Chain A
């Protein structure tokens, strides 16, 4: 079932009088529960496509349909609400809140996504997701005491705790070594399948493609 449809998406950056078209009419469809990887050389427009799809920057032209809603015509507040409730994000760096414990990072995400549940249930959800990412024993740790791999696991837990429809991952393993990268990819694969989350990710690492359902190659602002 199609959940996300990108049609004729264009993005032009202006630098003074010079215009640079980074996306030149991209078409892409994501199916529910599947992992799609965007690959291609640097400057091919992968990250730009991901960030526009995630509502982090506007498109110059084209449409993005998510569950029948056109994201390109939404106000910034509507887009924020979609990001909070329906999307999850994992970036190259974990970007955790430095003054919150692991448990509090997840609790904050539940607050932001306005998931209403009793405290007991909330704690169960947090415990469940921490168990999934293998960090139950680090529940009360602050980011400064976590390793790079642990931080990224927390970032993944934060991205999926509110059970988003779509997970956007921008080179989630770029800052990790091969062993940890495979662990993280395996984790993303398990969680998104378990929770039926559609995933769009950007990666440079071909070793990670074995974990995805579809590979979309990009070159010079187009899907090839």
Chain B
């Protein structure tokens, strides 16, 4: 530890450069991860914030909940058997405010359930993003093209679906507006194993998210960037420590000649890797949190502590692997060869 830290102190610029690169790469990774999560929340907070469970749609719907129509008798049977289950429908649509300004929303109607907002007939509960757009409690909005007036009862946080704010409707209003008697989905929270309902196919929360148009394509692209950045940082560690180790072959040889254990030389390298990574990660975590504050309000940015911790651990592991692979040459260093090479 001591000798490792002394080398860092004496060669500040060299380690500062490595630390800066790790800081910048990890900061970029945190920010992109925050944006990926933000977009994911913006796309599907309604589903992501539900407890783990199973979604069921009609077998004939071909993995598309929009085409699903749950038979009323099946719905009743499931709701009777599972008291915390809910039947719901999600429809993209438009609401016009009093000045006839049109707003895209995702209408959500469900049977009585703690999982979804309960509303009275003729009322709606909206995602708070609409409040920021000037909609107020008590406003009367009109559902086009049915021209049904709906009074805003309240706003709720973080309820988005397919990048649109959610509007919770009374189920009866929904049925009347869309002229349907059937709901599209059944959701049973806590059902980790697929329950065998004839005519229904099941999806976990994660599987259901992938049925949302563009969700998986969007997330895959962003996650690929995040993982590329992580791999690049691992390679940077490998290359940097390789270059540094090549320069220190003579020194390692002399240290081995006077009796320093090879394991101690590895410990020295690992300590330096840990010091640099921890300092760089601490700074980039701080800056990524600061970015949350200074980012434009319209930018979907959502970086959780869990994601930050997971990415930090991945960075440490990848840094360790990169440094260790490049350090394998330490094992091969012959003391005699180093002595014969001349002054370190």
Contact yes or no, A113 B259, CB < 8 A: yes
Q: Which of A51, A80, A99, A100 contacts B261 (CB 8 A)?
A: A80
Contact yes or no, A84 B251, CB < 8 A: no
Contact yes or no, B336 A51, CB < 8 A: yes
Q: Which residues of A contact B3 (CB under 8 A)?
A: 97, 100, 108
**Majority DSSP secondary structure for residues of B touching A:** helix
Q: Which of A94, A99, A109, A170 contacts B343 (CB 8 A)?
A: A94
- Using A51-B336, A95-B343 as known contacts, say yes or no to A89 and B257 having CB atoms under 8 A apart: yes
Contact yes or no, A98 B251, CB < 8 A: yes
Contact yes or no, A98 B339, CB < 8 A: no
What distance in Å separates the Cβ of B335 from its nearest Cβ neighbour in chain A? Answer: 5
| Any B CB within 8 A of the CB of A211 | no
Q: How far is the CA of A92 from the CA of B339 in the complex (A)?
A: 9
Contact yes or no, A56 B339, CB < 8 A: yes
- Using A98-B10, A100-B6 as known contacts, say yes or no to A83 and B259 having CB atoms under 8 A apart: yes
What distance in Å separates the Cβ of B266 from its nearest Cβ neighbour in chain A? Answer: 15
> How many of A's residues come within 8 Å of B, CB to CB?
28
| Any A CB within 8 A of the CB of B99 | no
Contact yes or no, B343 A112, CB < 8 A: no
Contact yes or no, A99 B259, CB < 8 A: no
- Using A93-B342, A95-B339, A100-B3 as known contacts, say yes or no to A112 and B10 having CB atoms under 8 A apart: no
Q: Which of A51, A97, A112, A142 contacts B259 (CB 8 A)?
A: A112
Q: How far is the CA of A196 from the CA of B250 in the complex (A)?
A: 31
Q: How far is the CA of A98 from the CA of B3 in the complex (A)?
A: 11
Q: How far is the CA of A170 from the CA of B256 in the complex (A)?
A: 17
- Measuring CB to CB, which residues of chain B are less than 8 angstroms from any residue of chain A? 3, 6-7, 9-11, 250-251, 254-261, 334-336, 338-339, 342-344
The 8 tightest CB contacts between A and B, nearest first, are A84-B259, A99-B10, A93-B343, A95-B254, A83-B259, A99-B7, A56-B336, A112-B259
What are 12 of the A-B contact pairs (CB < 8 Å)? A57-B334, A57-B336, A80-B259, A83-B257, A83-B258, A84-B260, A95-B338, A96-B344, A97-B251, A97-B255, A100-B6, A158-B258
Having A81-B259, A108-B3, one finds 10 other A-B pairs with CB under 8 Å, namely A56-B257, A56-B336, A84-B260, A85-B259, A89-B257, A91-B254, A95-B344, A96-B344, A99-B10, A112-B260
